[in-house]
Chains A and B, each alone.
Chain A
Amino acid sequence: MNQPSDQTFQERKRPDAAVSAAIVAANTPSAANGSEPAQRRRDSEGGLNLKPSGRTHGSSSSALEDRSVHAPGQTMGQIAVENPVFSCRDVNVYYGQKHALKKVSIDVGRKQVLAMIGPSGCGKSTFLRCLNRMNDTIAGARVTGSITLDGRDIHDKRQDVVQIRARVGMVFQKPNPFPKSIYDNVAYGPRIHGLARGRADLDDIVCTSLQRAGLWDEVKDRLNSPGTGLSGGQQQRLCIARTIAIQPEVILMDEPCSALDPIATARIEDLIDELRAQYAIVIVTHSMQQAARVSQRTAYFHMGDLIEVGETDKVFTNPRHRLTEDYITGRFG
């Protein structure tokens, strides 16, 4: 059998690698001395203090796709899903001269949570706002490409934007209840969209929505109190109740927990998991752990490009693109 001699090992060893030196030291005759391992540890620690980041790793290639320049529209992973609620193809968004979103193509599946992550300014919120035509309200914003909701282009002139926003509800970063009672906050949408056939029906919608939002038990005895008097977490759940009161198909959430404490965050995350049984949810979050906990699919955006999309379990354990890996492991962002 062809085994390497110590000399062979010495030749392989990098001269500056303290850790390799520890292995070599263990193989020298002096290693027989009982006090030697302690000395070796001291040497190694010294080596570490000198240059822990100076390591050069092996010649083997990484499994990651390492493209320094990402071509727009070349998303890694499975962008399509079966029977999508939203299907977006080659979506571009311009704010004046700025090209904020570049050829983004992705489907949103039914009864699942899609998390969108990426550094600030990467285009994830811009994309979220495309889905209920909120970008229409921004002066100088221009959206191109195709976005279909249940197979119909949401930019079709025959589409009523108010109806689209009724079908695609939105929850914002900061809880924004109306300065009205808890009851009226939830009843507002069904009233203006004519979803209730009378007071009893409206009561039923308010009660069901608050129950689904996990808030009913906490507010059932004070429905006429102002919504703004609730705690931050309760206000956010009130906003979610307000959103689901108009029976949307999709709920968009733009950093819904960033203003909440960990307990309120855990409640909202539980709620998202329950709501998933009925709705498609698209959530923008800066918390990697939250994306990993609540979503089934994750999309990573970088400087206006959709870099990678895939099953959340895979994205957070074995991402395919170097940029995704670097972002989620905290190497830039």
Chain B
Amino acid sequence: MLEGHISKAFDGALATLHVRVIEMGGLVLDQVREATRAYTDWEEESALRVIEREREVNAYDKSIDSEQLLLIARRAPVAGDLRAIIAMSKCVAELERAGDEAKKISKNVLGAGSYPGAATARDARHLGELAVSLLRLALEALDTIDASLCYEVIARDKDLDAEYAAGLRRLLTRAMEDPRHFEVTVEAAFVLKSLERIGDHARNLARHVLSIEA
């Protein structure tokens, strides 16, 4: 629905914008994956890479923002085109925030944080996989502008929320069993929360894609 304009240059500009947003999504997806691994496997090198690449995510955000402003100024889009451009702008904001969550997770590894125990790492890994798969599905929905995939993302975010609640309960149980785990529990709770928030950003992204079809 983004193509078919009399002006092929407009088609090209919209398609470029679309691809750039998906590219940014691919990068954020990678960031979330690597940040989760950095925490669960306690890999400082991975954590450093995530923090370094966060600059690239922000650069995407900035350059896509400029492209969108130019497109609006040059083409004065209306109707479906306008909805698509606004929706993509919102999607970029969601991706940027998801990237921030990945950075937060990585900072745990580089700070004075504590190595998570096997059970906590397992929970974080599981939640990370769910968040990545949800974000990937949301990006696929954005790529194909497919409402059915959007509804799937929105529905599956509830599953992720439930898994987060369950993981948090298990964390607290372990902390109560052995108060020496308190510090790692607090850090792990923040990591799980970040992963749950990434799922929320994927859900929001899917909602923005739905608004294109309005």
Q: Are the CB atoms of B26 and A23 closer together than 8 Å? A: yes
**B interface, by DSSP: helix, strand, loop or mixed?**
helix
| Complex Cα spacing A44 to B29, Å | 16
Q: Are the CB atoms of B143 and A317 closer together than 8 Å? A: no
| Complex Cα spacing A34 to B80, Å | 37
Q: Are the CB atoms of B82 and A317 closer together than 8 Å? A: yes
Q: Which of A3, A45, A325 has the most CB of B within 10 A?
A: A3
| Complex Cα spacing A319 to B81, Å | 12
- Verify if A97 is at the interface (C-beta below 8 Å from B): no
Number of interface residues of A (CB under 8 A): 54
- Verify if B171 is at the interface (C-beta below 8 Å from A): no
Question: Nearest residue in A to B158 (C-beta to C-beta)?
Answer: A1
Residue of B2, B30, B133 near A26 (CB, 8 A) is B30
Question: Nearest residue in B to A314 (C-beta to C-beta)?
Answer: B79
Q: What's the least CB distance linking A333 to chain B, in Å?
A: 7
Interface hit among B92-100, B105-113, B144-152, B182-190: B144-152
Q: Which of A36, A40, A52 has the most CB of B within 10 A?
A: A52
- Verify if B18 is at the interface (C-beta below 8 Å from A): yes
Q: Are the CB atoms of A37 and B33 closer together than 8 Å? A: no
* Residues 293-333 (chain A) with a chain B CB within 8 angstroms: 316-319, 324-326, 328-333
Residues on A with beta carbons closer than 8 Å to the beta carbon of B76: 288-289
- Verify if A137 is at the interface (C-beta below 8 Å from B): no
Residue of B15, B145, B156 near A52 (CB, 8 A) is B15
Number of interface residues of B (CB under 8 A): 61
Residue of B5, B77, B148 near A60 (CB, 8 A) is B148
Interface hit among B45-53, B64-72, B115-123: B45-53
Question: Nearest residue in B to A38 (C-beta to C-beta)?
Answer: B56
**A interface, by DSSP: helix, strand, loop or mixed?**
helix
Q: Are the CB atoms of A55 and B80 closer together than 8 Å? A: no
Residue of B5, B7, B29 near A23 (CB, 8 A) is B29
Residues on A with beta carbons closer than 8 Å to the beta carbon of B146: 57-60
Residue of A19, A55, A57, A319 near B23 (CB, 8 A) is A19
Residue of A31, A41, A52, A57 near B33 (CB, 8 A) is A31
- Verify if B25 is at the interface (C-beta below 8 Å from A): yes
Residue of B5, B33, B75, B141 near A27 (CB, 8 A) is B33
Q: Are the CB atoms of A52 and B79 closer together than 8 Å? A: no
Residues on B with beta carbons closer than 8 Å to the beta carbon of A319: 79
* Residues 37-66 (chain A) with a chain B CB within 8 angstroms: 37, 40-41, 44-45, 47-48, 52-53, 55-63
Residues on A with beta carbons closer than 8 Å to the beta carbon of B140: 9, 12-13, 20, 23
Q: What's the least CB distance linking A297 to chain B, in Å?
A: 16
Q: Are the CB atoms of B143 and A20 closer together than 8 Å? A: yes
* Residues 4-25 (chain B) with a chain A CB within 8 angstroms: 4-7, 10-12, 15-16, 18-19, 22-23, 25
Pick 22 A–B contacts, CB within 8 A, sort by A: A9-B136, A20-B140, A20-B143, A22-B23, A27-B29, A27-B30, A27-B136, A31-B33, A32-B49, A37-B30, A40-B23, A44-B22, A52-B11, A55-B15, A55-B18, A57-B144, A58-B146, A61-B147, A62-B1, A318-B79, A324-B79, A329-B81
